[in-house]
Amino acid sequence: MVYGQAMRERVRDDIGRLVHRGMPVEAYWRAVSDALDVAVPSEGSCLMTMDPATMLPTAEFVENGLPADSISRLVEIELREPDYTKWVDMARAGTAAASLSHVTAGDLDLSRRQREVRRPGGYSDELRVVLSSSTGTWGALTVFRETDSPYFSLSEVRLLSSLTGLISDGLRRALLLDDACADRPDTGMLVLDPDDGVDLANWEAEQWVDELGVGERAGTRLPLVIRSVASQARAIAAGERVADVGLARARVRTRTGRWVIVRGSLLGEGPLAPVAVLLEAARPAEMAPLLADMYGLTQRERRVTELVAQGLPTRQIANQLHMATYTVQDHLKSIFAKSGTGSRGDLVARLFFDQRTTSLTAPSATADD
C-alpha cells in the first residue's frame, strides 16, 4: 500500500499526541500499536525495552506473540548467533526499520529465528523498528503478521522508519515517568495544574527547583525553564506547533554548575489536564551533542567521532564515510585540536565520559564538512 501525505501526517499527529500524554510504558505501547495499525495493519506486536548502554533487553510487552517457552531460543539467537535484522546489527548500521521479507528477498526461512521458532508458531513476516534517539537505544518495536497474510511493503517500512524518532521520544518519556513514580534517585517529578500551580512534587523535584532558582521577579513560583516546558507540552498536545513535536524539553545549567534535562508531558487530554514535568541530571550521552557544538565540530567531524567511539579503525571509518584514509586522519587532527585532546581514548572520554556511543548530530549542528 502506498501512503499519501495526509495518511502520514495523520499517523504522525496521533503518535505525537501520545508522546505527550504521560502514559506508563505498557499503556504507551498499546496506544502506539493502535495508532500504527491504521496504516500498517498487523496481527500482533511486541515492545522490548533495553539498557541503552548495552542494548540488552530489560522488559517486554507482547500482544498475540509466541508462547513463553519459545522466547529463550529467540533470545539465544538474538544475542549469540548470526541472523537477519538483529537489533544490535540494525543499530550499528543506522537502520531504523526493516522487514524480514525485504532483507531475505522473500525467502523468510533464510532467517534462523523464522525457520526454527516463528514459522512453526504460525508467523510470517515481521517489521522491526529500532527505537533510538540522541541519548541511546531505549527499546525496539516489532509488528508481525501470521501465515497467509501479505508481507510488509516497502512503503510500510518507510513509514515506520520516519516515525522512529517520535516513538523513541515517547518511550523515553514513559520510562522516565515510570522511574520517577518508582522514586528513582535524582529524578524529580512535578505535576502542574493549568495555571502552573504545583499539585504534586517529590523531594527530588524540590531540590532541583531550589538548585535552579526562581529568579528575582516578585511572585514567581517556579523556574522559567519549568514553566516554558509545561507551556510547550500543552501547545503540542493541543495540536499547535506541529513541527516541534517531541521538543517539550530543555537542557539548562543550574546555579551549582550541573546540567539538568527538563521534560514535560500532558497527563490526559483537554485544556484542564495536568502536566507532568520530569527533571533529571543530564547524562553524558545527552551532553555529547552540546559539547560537539561547543567545540565547533562540523557535521563530518561528528560522524568521524561517532565511529571512533564505536571502536572502528581508520580504514573502516573511511569505508563507511566513503572517503580516503588520509582524509579521516585530517579530520581526526582537526577534532583533536578543537577538543583539546591528544588521542582517540581522550576524545571519547571527553565527549562521552562513560564510553557510551551516541549520536553527536542534532538539528542545530553545522552542516558543512
Amino acid at 3: Y
> Which residues, 6 or more positions from 311, have their beta carbon under 8 angstroms from its beta carbon?
none
- The residue that leads in pLDDT, 255 or 94, is 94
The DSSP-derived string for 196-238 is S-EEEE-HHHHHHHHHH---SSTT--S-HHHHHHHHHHHHHHT
144 vs 63: CA distance, rounded Å: 10
Q: State residue 217's pLDDT score.
A: 58
354 vs 113: CA distance, rounded Å: 33
Q: State residue 60's pLDDT score.
A: 80
- What percent of the chain is helix, strand and coil (3-state, nearest 5)? 45, 20, 35
With cell 523515553, the residue in question is 172
Give the up-direction half-sphere exposure of residue 302: CA atoms within 13 A in the CB hemisphere: 25
State if pTM tops 0.75. no
Q: Which one, of 94, 91, 124, lies nearest residue 109 by Cα?
A: 124
Q: State residue 285's pLDDT score.
A: 59
Q: Which one, of 188, 181, 174, lies nearest residue 277 by Cα?
A: 188
Q: ∠ CA(252), CA(259), CA(15), 5° rounding? A: 65
93 vs 16: CA distance, rounded Å: 26
Q: State residue 242's pLDDT score.
A: 41
Q: Which one, of 350, 366, 362, lies nearest residue 296 by Cα?
A: 366
Tens digits of per-residue pLDDT, 69-93? 677 788 778 877 899 999 889 988 8
Tens digits of per-residue pLDDT, 225-253? 888 888 888 888 887 644 444 567 887 77
> Which residues, 6 or more positions from 37, have their beta carbon under 8 angstroms from its beta carbon?
none
Where does the pLDDT of residue 286 fall: very low under 50, low under 70, confident under 90, or very high at 90 and above?
low
pLDDT at 322 over 90: yes
Q: State residue 116's pLDDT score.
A: 94
367 vs 364: CA distance, rounded Å: 9
Tens digits of per-residue pLDDT, 29-38? 999 999 999 8
Q: What is the mean pLDDT of the chain?
A: 82
3-state secondary structure of 346: helix
All domains in the chain, ordered by first residue: 5-180 (3.30.450.40), 184-282 (3.30.450.20), 285-352 (1.10.10.10)
**Main-chain phi, psi angles of 231, to 5 degrees:** -65, -40
The answer to whether the CB of 227 falls within 8 A of the CB of 235 is no
Reading the block at residue 269, the C-alpha cell is 487530554
3-state secondary structure of 280: strand
The answer to whether the CB of 134 falls within 8 A of the CB of 362 is yes
Beta strands in the chain (DSSP E): 44-50, 57-63, 97-99, 123-133, 136-146, 188-192, 198-201, 249-253, 259-266, 275-281
- The residue that leads in pLDDT, 2 or 283, is 283
Residue 323's H or E segment, with its range, is none
